[in-house]
Structure 1
Amino acid sequence: MQSVRVRLPASTSSCIYSCKMMESPQHLNLATTPLVRPAQADPPRASGVYSWWLDTARFPTPESAGLADLPAAPRLSHGAEQAELLYVGRARKNLHQRILRQHLRRTRSSALRRTLLAVLLPGDGKWAEGASLDSRRRVVLDADAEDQLTAWMTGHLLLGWVRCPSKDETDALEEGWIKEHQPVLNTDGTTHGRELTERKSRFVEGLSCDA
């Protein structure tokens, strides 16, 4: 699927983004958000919207990164970095905790991690190893499997975020970006959400349920 590229001056990538920069935060340009490697990320302890991108400088296609089962949806290309958009999410209270303590640590509390498992599995069956269901039928991983998924994310993805001063502005920005760009790993608010839900359902088939 052909990606969508937005071009901008290279200097834009060094700016610090905030919802306060524009009267309508939902109109901030996602393709200009500064990106960092996850291992170097230090998000603020504040509300905001974050985005995850495939590092296409190292992995030119999703298939080369092991993402063998993505829905057929256009992927926004970053304007200053070699990266393609995968996912947009929000943190109504604390970007630091949401990103570092959930997305990069705990599959139980991260929709992104659970979706990644579902689209990685067709390319390599190892991603089901160490996985089970908790009493609420949420996917959980043992410690080794959590570490493997975190290592994959830090080795293949880039991360950006925008700090927002209020929950309302956080919600508006996330909703606007998802509606406009249809990130390929987002389930809610996208036309391909049902496809992702089906992939996630296939992943949980056969997993044991913890008592």
Structure 2
Amino acid sequence: MRTPHPAFTPSPATGALLALTAARAVPHAEFVAAAPDAPGVVGVHVDLDGARRLGLTDRALAGGLVYVIAAPVSLRDRAVRAHFQSGRTAASHLRAGVAALLSEDLELDGVPRSPGVSGRRGLTSDAEEELTAWMRAHLRLSWWEAPEGVDAAEVAAAVTRELSPALHSTGVDRPWDRLTESRRAIVQRARRSATL
């Protein structure tokens, strides 16, 4: 008599990867209303028009996934929601990456976060609003809820390493060259405008 094969139980990272790439991604407003108040990982997906405008047509996208957000406290945490809020570009790698790639298309003007301070740059208030509107129109969110005792930040890092989402400038073996160049260019433009 054969022994039954035990049920396959994927690792948390594999479970998150499968959930984020196979689940239906929803608009930001639906995510805010439906995501559970529990730790987990958020996947950010781009639609076809958004992928074209970001220059992602030659990049393989697993379910349109372009960014991964760790939510170690809660999927509803304000740190997760901040990626889709105006005025947060200097503090969000996702917003900064999208802004850099769309800076010419949307004519987004970057500004130093504080006069004379180098490093992260923000956008003018009009550009912040335009970026937020674009992101909410073209980006969708999926999520994976972490089982109790599983470190969501570690799982997010593992998924990021495995998929190398295009809009990640850190946590991947080799960041996308176009993203790196675009981020550098928007910083240079902000520096020039600050000295005028």
Q: TM-score, normalised by structure 1?
A: 0.71
Paired residue type of 1:163: E
Q: How does 1:23-172 map to 2 (within 5 A)?
A: 24-28=11-15, 29=18, 30-42=20-32, 43-56=35-48, 59=49, 62-63=51-52, 66-68=53-55, 70=56, 73-77=59-63, 84-96=64-76, 97-100=78-81, 102-105=82-85, 106-122=88-104, 124=105, 126-127=107-108, 129=109, 131-134=110-113, 135=117, 137-165=119-147, 169-172=151-154
Distance 1:49 1:175 in 2: 10
Distance 1:110 1:98 in 2: 9
CA contact (8 A) 2:27 2:140 kept: yes
- Figure out how many residues of one structure are paired with residues of the other and give that number: 173
> Shift of the alpha carbon at 1:165?
4.7
After the TM superposition, which parts of structure 1 deviate over 6 Å for at least 4 consecutive aligned residues? Answer: none
> Shift of the alpha carbon at 1:110?
0.8
Residue segments in structure 1 that go unaligned for 5+ positions in a row: 1-21, 78-83
Structure 1 residues 178 and 147: alpha-carbon distance in aligned structure 2, compared to 1, 3 A threshold = same
> Shift of the alpha carbon at 1:113?
0.3
- After superposition, what is the alpha-carbon deviation per residue over 1:177-202, rounded to whole angstroms, capped at 9, x for unaligned? 11221111112232431623332111
Greater radius of gyration (CA): 2
Q: CA RMSD in A?
A: 2.6
CA contact (8 A) 1:73 1:182 kept: no
Residue segments in structure 2 that go unaligned for 5+ positions in a row: 1-8
